[in-house]
Amino acid sequence: MTLLLLVRHGETDWNVSQRFQGHTDVPLNEKGRQQAAAIAQRLASEEIHAIYTSDLSRARDTAVEIAEFHQNEISADPRLREGDFGEWEGATYDEIQNNYPELVKAWHEDLVNFAPPAGETPHQLAERVASLYEEIKTKHQDETAILVAHGGSLQILLCIMLNIPIGKFWQFNLAPCSLSQVSVYEEGAIINLLNDTSYLTLNLER
């Protein structure tokens, strides 16, 4: 069995303004840095064998906070990046709908195979996430690994682990700096914890 701890990165200003981030390297804001410190405290007592992160700074900086309590090197891997939204990055949904009404219609009609201009499809995102997932399962049998990534890439990963259609990714809600825990067996995966943010409230109110 491999135990995976899935962490979405802390908050950014684009999260607050609800802008598509994708591959754009948007940094954590002040609240995001506080959140990263809070989840680091939450995971401080866990026995961790490996830490993987997206190479984008909002995820990588969250992982750096977590690694402060452990002796693991951080493995930054672009396969954990958010989906590439191409020309839509930096825009809100309303802005995209106003500027690309026909494309938005096509997007809603085929979530899995649609790509924004100069972007990638969820199917392409799934292929890169799945390749890393297979490597981690093989390398970390009977170990615990942390994956710090993005809402989209982690939603897709959950679909892959549970063997459900990747078009259902939107049914997983993963808040900034949330923690999910999945036990991965040869027969399949079991979700033990999903979208936990209780430690954020406790730490940020102190």
> What are the catalytic residues?
9, 150
Classified as helix, coil or strand, 153 is helix
* Phi, psi of 130, rounded to the nearest 5 degrees: -65, -35
Query: Residue 120 contacts by C-beta under 8 Å, 6 or more apart in sequence?
Result: 83, 84, 86
Q: Report how far residue 127's alpha carbon sits from residue 122's, in angstroms, rounded to the nearest whole number.
A: 9
Q: Are 196 and 30 in contact (CB under 8 A)?
A: no
Bridge partners (DSSP) listed for residue 145: 4, 50
Q: Are 9 and 58 in contact (CB under 8 A)?
A: yes
Q: Report how far residue 25's alpha carbon sits from residue 170's, in angstroms, rounded to the nearest whole number.
A: 23
